[in-house]
């Protein structure tokens, strides 16, 4: 590991380039202060640096032990599931909410335009493929696991349709605001797109999926 040559990088909130070092160097620097103190070579003006170094070393040791135990016991997988469950609990309601209009008409109008479908208004039945595109463009991009959980809560019935709208299962404090924000951003991308492929490239860049499912390509 080269600890002498700094690494150039561009900070997220600054335009100018900055320089830093690999994270692995931090404990080495801390150990240097501890070793210097043991050897009696530490200056009194450096005492605060020794205190900071000892705090960092203790913290790294604790984190390291936790990571080793998690890996050995398989708890890391449980930890990941618990984190996912917290997301689902925030987004998915325990009980079905009353139906309310959540998708602006413009979402479907722009979708039809980009797909080169004839638009006849909201009162005319939409192709079944619209549901797949809605899952792709909206629910798969809200948060990890959302679409899977909604499909469990709102399964397809024997008639081939779902009994309720997916958005009726979203929570009012987190799920619905997140849906509204996402739809606003999606419609904005739709407006500035001339065709489906250019729009799909932009939404994948700006609002990437939170799942590992393959993207829907245009069925030309």
For residue 31, give every residue at least 6 positions away whose Cβ sits within 8 Å of its Cβ, in sequence order, or none: 53, 57
Q: Which range of residues forms the domain containing residue 43?
A: 7-73
User: What are the tens digits of pLDDT across the range 123-138?
Assistant: 766 767 888 999 999 9
Please count the structural domains in the chain.
2
Is the pTM value of this prediction over 0.85? no
Residues 101 and 150 in one domain: yes
CA–CA gap between residue 166 and residue 188 (Å, rounded): 22
Residue 130 forms part of a structural domain: yes
Element of type H or E holding 18: strand 18-20
d(CA 184, CA 189): 9
Are residues 30 and 104 both part of a single domain? no
Q: Which of 73, 100, 123 is the last residue of a domain?
A: 73
Same domain, yes or no, for 65 and 106?
A: no
Residues 81-110: what's their mean pLDDT?
79
Are the C-beta atoms of 126 and 105 separated by less than 8 Å? no
pLDDT-derived band at 185 (thresholds 50, 70, 90) equals very high
> For residue 64, what pLDDT band results from cuts at 50, 70 and 90?
low
Q: Is residue 170 part of a domain?
A: yes
Last residue of a domain, one of 21, 40, 73: 73
Number of Cβ within a 10 Å radius of residue 160 = 7
In a domain, 161, yes or no: yes
CB-count burial class (<10 Å; 0-12, 13-18, 19+) for 64: exposed
Q: Are residues 50 and 111 in the same domain?
A: no
């Amino acid at each position: 590991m080269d600890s002498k040559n700094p690494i150039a990088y561009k900070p997220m909130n600054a335009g100018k380039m900055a320089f830093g070092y690999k994270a692995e160097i931090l404990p080495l620097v801390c150990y240097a202060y501890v070793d210097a103190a043991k050897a009696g070579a530490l200056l009194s003006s450096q005492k605060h640096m020794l205190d900071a170094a000892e705090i960092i070393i203790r913290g790294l040791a604790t984190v390291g032990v936790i990571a080793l135990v998690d890996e050995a016991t398989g708890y890391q997988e449980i930890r990941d599931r618990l984190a996912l469950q917290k997301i689902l609990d925030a987004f998915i309601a325990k009980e079905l909410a009353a139906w309310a209009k959540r998708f602006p008409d413009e979402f479907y109008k722009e979708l039809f335009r980009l797909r080169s479908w004839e638009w006849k208004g909201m009162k005319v039945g939409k192709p079944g493929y619209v549901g797949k595109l809605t899952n792709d463009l909206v629910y798969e991009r809200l948060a990890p696991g959302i679409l899977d959980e909604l499909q469990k809560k709102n399964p397809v019935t024997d008639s081939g349709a779902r009994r309720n709208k997916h958005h009726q299962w979203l929570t009012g404090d987190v799920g619905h605001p997140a849906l509204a924000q996402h739809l606003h951003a999606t419609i904005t991308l739709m407006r500035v797109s001339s065709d489906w492929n250019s729009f799909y490239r932009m939404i994948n860049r700006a609002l990437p999926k939170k799942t590992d499912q393959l993207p829907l390509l245009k069925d030309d």
